[in-house]
Amino acid sequence: MQHISPTPTDPDPAGSRAARRTAPALACTALLALAGCGGGGRPAEEAAPAEGYPVTVQECDREVTVDAPPERAVTLNQHTTEIMLALGLEDRMVGTAFLDDAVLPEYSDAYEAVPVLADQYPSFEDLLAAEPDFVYAGFASSAFAEDEGRGREALEDAGMTTYANIEQCTGQVTMETVATEITNIGRIFGVEDRADEVVAGIEEQVAGVEQALEGTDPVDVLVVDNLDGTIFTSGGAGIGTEIIAHAGGRNVFDDLDKVFADVSVEQAAEREPDAILIYDYGEISAEEKKKAVLADPTLAGTPAVEEERFAVLPLTSAVVGNRVGNAVEEVAEQLHPDAF
């Protein structure tokens, strides 16, 4: 059963990573790296803060402070990678890991210039070898998993500042959460103007969709991340609910105070969804998920199944990142095709 807890399970369903290079391992051992050979380690004498620094941003219940713009960043999870690329920061990246689908075409050339440390999450030793001064994660609980050696304390002790996407700790996620996330990264790296441009572009795109939808009736939407005895769906705490709302719909499980949640098929049927939004990623294709929904006898009487009304969204677009504007437009066009 494919569950996100809260992290996706398949790094690259298209297999494009097979031909990609892997960042070369450095010759020093982990012990020497910690001592300064390769861990992005702090210099023996702390340098004076750069002009306009130190900068401090709020990440959930933590404050993250940098004394200068990071020069050697590693991103873990696709949406953090794409935020960095959207901000034009590929020249500050020494590694990336864990794709869920293809990088957006406009970032593909920049992405190809960044070393891939691992198909999924790199080991602590692989991180040390890349010598990062900043590690940016999409899903803190898995990216910074202590039982896999990537605990934040260990990374910080090795000289790496750590920061995680704020979706997982914000409570009710809104478009303002997206703006805050992008702005935080812009401030850390000293590219506030570019961050403002990216946020403005998202807001303009969403406003255009809302204008096109004026006068349409909202659609009750059931999100199906996976169907296997139960339905793994989008709760009200994640950006998915906000995307659906701006796209002319209503998440039928917006009352669940979680980003993702398991619900029974019976519960889903009782909500009588008008449409089903499938999150596309991993080894089980969107078409296979659609067939599973259509074959389920409990869902057979819902308006969505009776009318075979489906929409599909890449999972990477359903998290707090720079794809949110695209996601609103894509879902709206599928739910309300006559409006476009």
What pTM, to 2 d.p., does this model score? 0.83
Taking CA atoms, 136 is separated from 48, 53, 81, 117, 248, in Å, by 24, 19, 8, 14, 32
Supply the pLDDT for residue 170: 67
What does 244-309 look like in DSSP terms, one character per residue? HHHTTEEETTTTS-SSEEEEEHHHHHHT--SEEEEEE-SSS-HHHHHHHHHH-TTTTTSHHHHTT-
Supply the pLDDT for residue 175: 94
Q: How far apart are CA 10 and CA 28, in angstroms?
A: 31
Q: How far apart are CA 246 and CA 308, in angstroms?
A: 22
Q: How far apart are CA 203 and CA 219, in angstroms?
A: 22
Whether the per-residue pLDDT at 163 is higher than 50: the answer is: yes
Supply the pLDDT for residue 213: 97
pLDDT grade for 269, boundaries at 50, 70 and 90: very high
Average pLDDT value for the chain: 87
Average pLDDT over residues 18-24: 37
Q: 280 with 330: CB under 8 angstroms? A: no
Pairwise pLDDT comparison (230 vs 32), residue with the higher score = 230
Query: Which amino acid belongs to residue 144?
Result: F
Phi, psi dihedral angles at 295 (to 5 degrees): -85, -10
Q: What percent of the chain has pLDDT over 90?
A: 78
| Structural domains for the chain | 16-164 (3.40.50.1980), 215-339 (3.40.50.1980)
Least confident of 47-56, 100-109, 181-190, 274-283: 47-56
pLDDT grade for 48, boundaries at 50, 70 and 90: low
Taking CA atoms, 59 is separated from 173, 243, 313, in Å, by 14, 22, 27
Q: What percent of the chain has pLDDT over 70?
A: 86
pLDDT in tens, 60-112: 899 999 999 999 999 999 999 999 999 999 999 999 999 888 899 999 999 99
Contacts of 176 (CB under 8 A, 6+ apart): none
pLDDT in tens, 24-46: 333 333 333 333 444 444 444 55
Supply the pLDDT for residue 292: 96
pLDDT in tens, 185-212: 999 999 999 999 999 999 999 999 999 9
Q: 188 with 208: CB under 8 angstroms? A: no
Average pLDDT over residues 247-260: 94
Taking CA atoms, 129 is separated from 133, 163, 258, in Å, by 12, 19, 36
Q: How far apart are CA 156 and CA 49, in angstroms?
A: 18
Whether the per-residue pLDDT at 8 is higher than 50: the answer is: no
Average pLDDT over residues 135-150: 94
Q: 137 with 30: CB under 8 angstroms? A: no
Supply the pLDDT for residue 6: 39
